[in-house]
Structure 1
């Protein structure tokens, strides 16, 4: 009888858990809806995957999760890291890490007045290495209010920044991430 009562007690809880958004196994969301967050990769790693889940009922906001991966040994250790420029909520934004940096973190703050977030990338520079073979992804998500996912397609490509647009009608963003390879030698360019 006790087992039956415990099962009846647990069934509503199981229904709640199964109704939650599509959580990424082993990668918990870094934020709650309408909350700020600060995510940084461990030293010597760069961002390689970004996932998000949208909810209109939760302030037209997204849950976010990020994955990092160690950079190739040929790049060496990061020589400096910094927070790069910030966007304003409700505005378009294009940001590429200055000083030939790679994206190694993200921070964001939610603003209920515009139902949008401000964004800032944490960038790390590796000696005097330079980017090449850069390209922009298609829109992520493809359509507003869908789940979004970027996984860097090949080891040796890195996220250098992004271009993002905001729909004031749909209250959601689409992203085009800037992906590049890095030279295996030092180069003369301060920023590319």
Structure 2
């Protein structure tokens, strides 16, 4: 079993591939939230980075489908968790981008044509209390992206959020606004349908 599959089978992530996360009470949640994520005890929450460098890649032929993040006032940083869904059937070609932003700068990124976001990595800098991001993009044979949509901002500063890519669509990009005064980011995501060319 690959390391990615082992991570996905660890406590906190169910066999269905969805994150088993509780949505904290008294929190406003932005975006589409899977109702199955509501009933897991708080102690079952698992984060992938624990306020350190984050590296995450979906299993082969899958793309990121759920993004969950929690801010800490103590560390002035976020922890993250993700789930994936099968997106490709045939051969795929994947590659990492370079870092797409500098510390304290915004992000405006979409994978190259016909590609989906299938992984990500970020580098934390304690001085800036910020992260630089790179993305793992995968492209399938004979597929085209159609009906692409940008979400509005899905979180407020320092807000917990859980967002799910709508059914029948796949994650292809993100825009992130950075506020130096708050030391925080607000996120938008771009998703598309994927049809045969």
The TM-score with structure 1 as length reference comes to 0.76
CA distance in 2, matches of 1:27, 1:182: 32
Where in structure 2 are the equivalents of 1:171-182 lying within 5 Å?
171-182=183-194
Change (3 A) 1:111 1:41: same
| Alpha-carbon separation, structure 2, partners of 1:106 and 1:172 | 19
Matching of residue 117 in structure 1 with residue 134 in structure 2:
no
Map 1:30-45; keep pairs closer than 5 Å: 30-33=48-51, 35-45=52-62
| Structural mapping, 1:163-174, within 5 Å | 163-174=175-186
Query: Contact conserved, 1:27 with 1:65, CA < 8 A, in 2?
Result: no
Q: Contact 2:177–2:185 at 8 Å: present in 1 too? A: yes
Structure 1 residue 131: Cα displacement: 1.0
Give the Cα–Cα distance (whole angstroms) in 2 for the partners of residues 171 and 53 of structure 1. Answer: 14
Aligned to 2:160: 147
Deviation, 1:30, is 0.6
In structure 2, distance between residues paired with 1:38 and 1:147 = 20
Distance 1:124 1:84 in 2: 11
Q: Paired residue for 1:82?
A: 95
> Which digits, 9 at most, give the CA deviation of each residue in 1:83-109, with x for residues without a partner?
124221210111100142101111111
Q: How far is the alpha carbon of 1:27 from its aligned partner? A: 6.3
Aligned counterpart for 1:54 among listed residues 71, 76, 80: 71
Pick the structure with greater CA Rg. Answer: 1
Could you list the runs of 4 or more consecutive aligned residues of structure 1 that deviate by over 3 angstroms after TM superposition? 24-27
Structure 1 residues 78 and 161: alpha-carbon distance in aligned structure 2, compared to 1, 3 A threshold: farther
- Does the CA contact (< 8 Å) of 2:142 and 2:196 recur in 1? no
Structure 2: runs of 5 or more not aligned: 1-22, 25-36
Unaligned runs of 5+ in 1: 1-20, 186-192
What residue in structure 1 maps to residue 115 of structure 2? 101
For 1:28, the equivalent position in structure 2 comes to 46
How far 1:120 moved relative to its partner? 1.1
8 Å contact from structure 1 (residues 131, 181) kept in 2: yes
Q: How many residues matched?
A: 157
* 8 A Cα contact 2:110 2:173, kept in partner: yes
